[in-house]
A and B are shown apart, each in its own frame.
Chain A
Amino acid sequence: MIEVQDIRAGYGDGPDILGGISMHAHAREIVTILGPNGCGKSTLLKTVAGFVTPRAGTVRIDGQHAEAVPIHEKVRHHGVGYVPQTDNVFRTMSVAENLLMGARDLDRQTREERLDAVMAQYPSLANKRRRKASALSGGERQILSLARALMAGPRILLLDEPSAGLSPAMMHDVFDAIARIRDEQDMCILMVEQNAFEGLSISDRAYVLNLGKVALTAQAQALLNDPAMERLYLGGAPAE
């Protein structure tokens, strides 16, 4: 579904943050992008999403060139849903309003049906549907932003550090929700994650970035068991 080929990208006149990255992700798959701070994880996700236009290389979605397509067009025409890391809810709107704003082009009846379905799927949101989003906990906001992305019926979900700032219990709930989305909706999920162990535990494959390039790619389970991976990227004990 997503094919990235030799992408180079950066901000303004600055140097390349991504120095020629290639990767792919398919339906019914969670692909996690890992790596140390500043390695280009979020830039890669923003380039795939359309917030950043690549300086070179291609981004294809379902075989179609999409490297120059802005995010709002990708959401409308390529079935992409994007969940940012922070500022991911409209704080002055209620939970229900936040969800309905995710179903922009649907007719009223379909929107209400989707709203009911999402509320049934996430009872924690249903109990607080009239409450302002600003009153939700960090985990509830993350679930709300995930659920809102689902309202438009995307086929591809791009998640930028869904566990950022969450307690371990909340993190578990959020990752559980992400895994269920993949399993129940045949979704292609591309996720940037700092918390490598938790991220890999629900992922199928992963790319490890370093200095804007792919340093390692493997099945998630293999990476979890790789001592070099643990030492370099997962915060394990340094080698003797």
Chain B
Amino acid sequence: MSEFLIHVAAVSCLYGILALALNLQMGFSGLVNFGLIALFGCGTYGAAFAHLWGWPPLAGLALGLIFAALMGLFFARLGARMSEDYWGIATLSLAEIMRLVFTNEQALAGGAQGVSGLPVSFAGLAGQGAGLSRLALYAALLAAAFVLCQRITRSGFGMALKMMREEPQLARALGYDLGRMRAIVMVISSLMAAVAGFLYAHYLSFVGPEQLMSHETFLIWSMVIIGGIANNWGVVAGAFLMQFALAYVPFVKDWLDMPSDFVAATRLVIVGGGILAFLIWRPKGLFPERIGGSHG
């Protein structure tokens, strides 16, 4: 297996975790979060702060998880005060505020320069051993996240989440506390996103504010929309599909002998065009949600 394929597969696993987190929020619960990348950033900057302060990497993970849980709760509290569409805009704004703060505050994790030199996991292994070990770790965590999401969405709580998504007023009328449900979903999915962020930081050995650009959020959205909203298998497939599609853009550039700008522009076209095309021609994605069937 080539280094390149190992790399793309490893990154796909991390984005698969992010896609599952967004799917739990947006797909199953109807929480239209355009600020998912901020929750991912809690994980990356948890790793960065731990590195700067000389803490062991696992302390960075704990820090990132705490940041993410608090931010997820904050998002959920905001959601109780505003309608769904305004909440979506608010989450996008919060993620942008976070990125701008980390870009402009030099004293805070290096500002625009970011933090480099984070220890890379399995760095001591020779040859492809390190890459394959990382891939195995990420794949195992993706599988764990997948099982967790499947268990949640197939439980009574998962049915209640779908009720919240479809008919929130009716769910309240049946005694469901939507504020509490929203908080639980946001915390669980925020923790998942933070784990992906922490691993990503130690994979690249670098954390910087450009990792929090809003187009990263829309890349994760494209994975969910193309894979199949509210289908856990689908969004993981969407993550791999999109990552591999984006990874091959540089080869297309070389083949067509296009300038370097072509790569970035084409990636944006693939994400934006993919979202648009699927929303128009196949809004349920490649693997549509399975409806009903859990009770007789």
Contacts and interface: CB of A to CB of B under 8 A. Distances in A.
A149 B170 CA distance: 11
Interface stretch (A30-38, A97-105, A161-169, A227-235): A97-105
Contact of B175 (A76, A84, A88, A94): A76
B174 A102 contact: yes
Interface stretch (A67-75, A177-185, A199-207): A67-75
A129 B296 contact: yes
A72 B296 CA distance: 26
Given A71-B173, A72-B172, A91 B159 contact: no
Given A70-B172, A75-B175, A82-B173, A90 B291 contact: no
A92 B292 contact: yes
A92 B175 contact: no
A26 interface: no
Given A72-B175, A101-B159, A92 B291 contact: yes
B178 to A, nearest CB: 8
A82 B172 CA distance: 10
A51 interface: yes
A148 to B, nearest CB: 7
Nearest to A151: B174
Contacts of B291: 92-93, 132
A149 B176 CA distance: 13
Interface string A78-113: 000011100110111110110011101100000000
A103 B99 CA distance: 44
A71 B173 CA distance: 6
B292 A132 contact: yes
A148 B296 contact: no
Interface residues of A, number: 30
A97 B294 contact: yes
B120 to A, nearest CB: 45
A90 B175 contact: no
Interface string B272-293: 0000000000000000000111
Interface string B160-200: 10110011011011111110000000000000000000000
A101 B177 CA distance: 13
A92 B296 CA distance: 14
Contact of A97 (B169, B177, B295): B295
A37 to B, nearest CB: 21
Nearest to A91: B166
B159 A93 contact: yes
Given A72-B175, A101-B160, A152-B175, A93 B292 contact: yes
A94 B166 contact: no
A59 interface: no
A24 interface: no
Contacts of B163: 90, 101
Contacts of B174: 75, 101-102, 104, 148-149, 152
A72 to B, nearest CB: 5
Interface string A130-167: 10100000000000000011001000000000000000
Interface of B: 159-160, 162-163, 166-167, 169-170, 172-178, 291-296
The 9 closest A-B pairs by CB, nearest first: A75-B175, A82-B173, A97-B295, A92-B291, A94-B292, A96-B295, A76-B175, A72-B177, A72-B175
Interface of A: 49, 51, 70-72, 75-76, 82-84, 87-88, 90-94, 96-97, 100-102, 104-105, 129-130, 132, 148-149, 152
15 contacts: A49-B173, A72-B176, A84-B170, A84-B173, A87-B169, A90-B170, A92-B162, A92-B166, A93-B162, A94-B292, A101-B159, A101-B174, A102-B174, A129-B296, A149-B174
